[in-house]
Copies of this chain bind each other. A is one copy, B any other.
Amino acid sequence: MAAQEGGKEGKKSGGGVTLKTPKGTRDWAGEDMLLRDEVFKSITDIFKRHGGSPLDTPVFELKEILAGKYGEDQRLVYDLGDQGGEICSLRYDLTVPFARWLAMNNVQQIKRYHLAKVYRRDQPAIARGRYREFHQCDFDIAGVYDPMIPDAEILRIIVEVFEALDLGITIKLNHRKILDGMFAVAGVPAEKTRTISSAVDKLDKMAWPEVKKEMVEEKGLAEEVADRIGEYVLNKGTVSQMVEYIRGNEQLIANETVKAGVDDMALLGTYLDAMEVSDKITFDLSLARGLDYYTGLIYEVINLPPKEDGTAGKKKLKKDDPANQVGSIAAGGRYDNLVGMYGKKTIPCVGISFGVDRIFTILKARRERENAAKTRTTDVYVMAFGGREFNGLLPERMSVASKLWKAGIRAEYSPKVKPKLPQQFKAAEDRDVPLGIILGQDELAAGQVRLKQLGQGGQGKASGDEDNRGKLVSLDDLAEEVKKLLL
């Protein structure tokens, strides 16, 4: 069953109701759902490996909890209707509910993970995996620690997740202190720091002359200030290369904020080496990230298309390949002041959010390219056959299936009282079921049934060939025999 996207598939039903999901939302069914759950499991396994503790919060929060957290995007928050009582909004991310929970429960230190849907009244772009209802998978480390230790572990987690999913990646890094200090050195007035930061963030989609134009013409920055920014932000390289570059630039390193940021990055570099993830990292001075609440390290993960030899590389995919269009597939950073907006104490935090819908879009396209086999959902089909007096042996099929279920085996049978044998084989075949159990009156009288491997031709049609009709197995040994064949 393919996913249905709201807005396109709408049709009027008999009762005059439009049959669709709301705009920017979708149903998940069949193979899509199984693939999505695989992604969740891969990610969760790694979160647990790192001592993560699960959290789940309500889908809506008091509106005042969300107020003033998302800058310009606040208007994208979904509100619940006022039906008397509290005024609530659907959650916009998992970070603000986490901060609310930390403050409310006075939790001082935790590694928590949270997989859930979030809601944004944005313009949907379905082909690129952008929905109004979509999933986030977040891992955050809250608490006071020695510098950069949790930050390094988050980056290690990112690498482990995409290795588990077999997706090639680059992690772009930057540091808000370096960025803000750099803007100050270039001559950006303090009140324009965030808006200029937003312009710089567009460098992954726009060329420098366009970004410069936005800064000068739209945001009123002096041209020479913009040019100095351009000199800085177009640099990128390994962590040690970029630390060397900044420390070698006398004007930059004279700025206290830049210096603090570079010291963080140098320390982080040694930890990333120890964790063997440095080869996935690019220190990119143009990375800025939209959200206001970041205070230190920031990062964004880009999917690299696979090379000819199957490893990740720079080979161009076709224009319409989702891997080319989805943008970042995970992102995050350090936010040391957000919890302090709720509680009396501030609790420094650093975290990552995986964009499961975009990751799903890439993996699904890959599966379709590879023509991957369908996921099997049934192991055994319980059938019956007989001659003219055949009564369908339904209670007997139910009884055999119950034995299998009891043993944890996935079993089905025809929901007809008297099904024909070819119908039963066809049903098993349609579901790619590997094993058939065939009940006959005479065999049952002897406490036996026939166990047959399916999909091997012949389909057990009446013939003298013993093998073709399956192996005789006693009912008492049946579950055991089936389990052996399923290994």
Task: Given A51-B377, A409-B49, answer yes or no on A62-B145 (Cβ-Cβ < 8 Å).
Answer: no
The CA-CA distance from A152 to B402 in the complex, in Å, is: 11
CB-contact partner of A33 in B29, B54, B81, under 8 A: B54
Q: Is the CB of B13 within 8 A of A103?
A: yes
Q: Which of A340-380 contact B (CB under 8 A)?
A: 340-344, 377-378
Q: Is the CB of A402 within 8 A of B19?
A: no
CB-contact partner of A51 in B13, B82, B85, B410, under 8 A: B410
Least CB distance, A297 to chain B, in whole angstroms:
15
Q: Is the CB of A58 within 8 A of B13?
A: no
The interface residues of chain B lying within 8 Å CB-to-CB of A138 are none
- From A221-229, A269-277, A475-483, the one touching the partner chain is A269-277
Q: Is the CB of A27 within 8 A of B56?
A: yes
Q: Which of A316-348 contact B (CB under 8 A)?
A: 340-344
Interface: A60 (CB within 8 A): yes
Interface: A391 (CB within 8 A): no
Q: Is the CB of B274 within 8 A of A399?
A: yes
The interface residues of chain B lying within 8 Å CB-to-CB of A133 are 58-60
Q: Is the CB of A271 within 8 A of B37?
A: no
How many copies of this chain are found per oligomer?
2
The CA-CA distance from A19 to B100 in the complex, in Å, is: 7
Least CB distance, A148 to chain B, in whole angstroms:
10
Scan A57-90; emit 1 where CB is below 8 A from any B CB, else 0: 1111110110100000000001111110110101
Least CB distance, A57 to chain B, in whole angstroms:
5
13 other contacts beyond A274-B402, A276-B402, with CB at 8 A cut-off?
Answer: A1-B53, A4-B105, A13-B344, A21-B61, A22-B60, A22-B62, A28-B56, A29-B56, A78-B83, A79-B83, A146-B415, A146-B416, A273-B395
Instruction: Enumerate 23 A-B pairs (CB-CB under 8 Å) in ascending A order.
Output: A13-B343, A17-B342, A19-B343, A22-B58, A22-B60, A27-B56, A29-B54, A29-B55, A46-B405, A49-B409, A49-B410, A50-B411, A59-B119, A81-B81, A83-B121, A146-B416, A146-B417, A149-B394, A156-B405, A160-B406, A271-B394, A274-B395, A274-B396
